[in-house]
Amino acid sequence: MKITEKININASIPEVWDVLAINFDRAADWMSTIPKSVEKVEGVKADGAPMVGRVCDISTKPDGPTVDETIVSYNENQHKFTVRVVPQGGRIPVVQNMITFSLRDMGNNQTEMTWDSDVELKTIGKIVSPLLKVGLSKNLGDLMDDLKYYVENGQPHPRKLAAMQA
């Protein structure tokens, strides 16, 4: 299942790249659905990448599900990188999600970010894929809004602040 979304961010490419790629392990700083994220240290670091990847909690429960995210390709000159996301634990109907992030200069201190997802579903996910695509698209839109808000305002989106207090 493929999902592609784009968003314009009122900031330069270096400002967006810093949050999205250089500080990849700091997702919990701005992603409203991620209460905790840490740098992944085991594995092979892609050429040029700042780290191997990150591990994100997607629940506040101590034994809740996580996602293991590995940077598989990284091109700072083209402002593009690909991440393999593998859910761990919980009832997540996804085998893996290959996400390619890319940034494009739109002039006037504006950056277009593209998020291309290629989601490999488990059998149950294939059965409910139309509903799953709607839910994933909404979640993706929220995450992109979280990034836009954080980069433009230097603080988390109000949705993230509310999640932190819950």
Phi, psi of 140 (to 5 degrees): -60, -45
The CATH number assigned to the domain holding 22 equals 3.30.530.20
Identify the domain containing residue 75 by its residue range. Answer: 2-165
CB 18 within 8 A of CB 30: no
76 pLDDT above the threshold of 90: yes
Kindly calculate the radius of gyration of the chain based on its CA atoms and give it in whole angstroms.
15
The pLDDT tens digits of the residues spanning 11-67 come to 999 999 999 999 999 999 999 999 999 999 999 999 999 999 999 999 988 889 999
Number of separate domains in the chain: 1
The mean pLDDT of the chain is 95
Of the pLDDT bands very low, low, confident and very high (cuts 50, 70, 90), residue 91 is confident
